[in-house]
Amino acid sequence: DAGVIQSPRHEVTEMGQEVTLRCKPISGHNSLFWYRQTMMRGLELLIYFNNNVPIDDSGMPEDRFSAKMPNASFSTLKIQPSEPRDSAVYFCASSLISQTNTEAFFGQGTRLTVV
Amino acid sequence: AQSVTQLGSHVSVSEGALVLLRCNYSSSVPPYLFWYVQYPNQGLQLLLKYTTGATLVKGINGFEAEFKKSETSFHLTKPSAHMSDAAEYFCAVSASHNFGNEKLTFGTGTRLTIIP
């Protein structure tokens, strides 16, 4: 398996533009997580899906952020409109949640710069 | 609620010396504990994890960690540091065993520097 695949790896956009980040989880995994990493705040969980259903979106900073998981093999995180303070590395992770395993596998991240 | 505290945002050790990265957790239920490593411009990679059973767990690259319930700690150690160990290390806790509602809470990370 190729692991968790995120695209793009780097994104530079102007303030006010819409940004869409994409994630393909590991096949067979039933949970998907979006994290944001900044120097100031470290790793923050934004939203968590289980079996394609959003379970916890309490970490989504505001209404400008939205996430979808239309099927088990694809998820998007959208920021509209984007602001400079959204600049960060966004990680997607997937996991097969079971009685014996809760390990999360991370993608390589999308480095977002909003100018 | 669950939380993780990593003491020391930066740790430097000499090559060949003992590595000790500290992690304390807070959890209202028995926790699952993890250490992840992040190399520059990479995602996080699992080093080791504790769920149940033996409290001393061994991971990749010669790292190990011991779960001490009485101290609410899960410190990461390696007997002899190697230059390739230079990276950022994250401790994480998952304390919701309501399967279908799992999430990891991460510490703020410790950047490990190896001195030649």
Mutate to test the interface with A, among B39, B44, B46, B98 (most CBs of A within 10 A): B44
Mutate to test the interface with A, among B42, B50, B104 (most CBs of A within 10 A): B104
Q: Report the distance separating Cα A67 and Cα A19, nearest Å.
A: 12
Q: Report the distance separating Cα A85 and Cα A53, nearest Å.
A: 28
From the list A60, A63, A62, A28, the residue with the least C-alpha distance to A47 is: A60
Question: Per the CB < 8 Å rule, is A99 touching B42?
Answer: no
Chain segment A88-113, per-residue pLDDT in tens: 999 999 988 765 666 789 999 999 99
Chain segment B34-73, per-residue pLDDT in tens: 999 999 888 899 999 998 889 999 999 999 999 999 999 9
From the list B77, B26, B29, B85, the residue with the least C-alpha distance to B56 is: B77
Question: Per the CB < 8 Å rule, is B41 touching A102?
Answer: no
pLDDT for residue B27: 85
Chain segment B74-111, per-residue pLDDT in tens: 999 999 999 999 999 999 988 665 554 467 888 999 99
pLDDT for residue B41: 82
Q: Report the distance separating Cα B32 and Cα B97, nearest Å.
A: 9
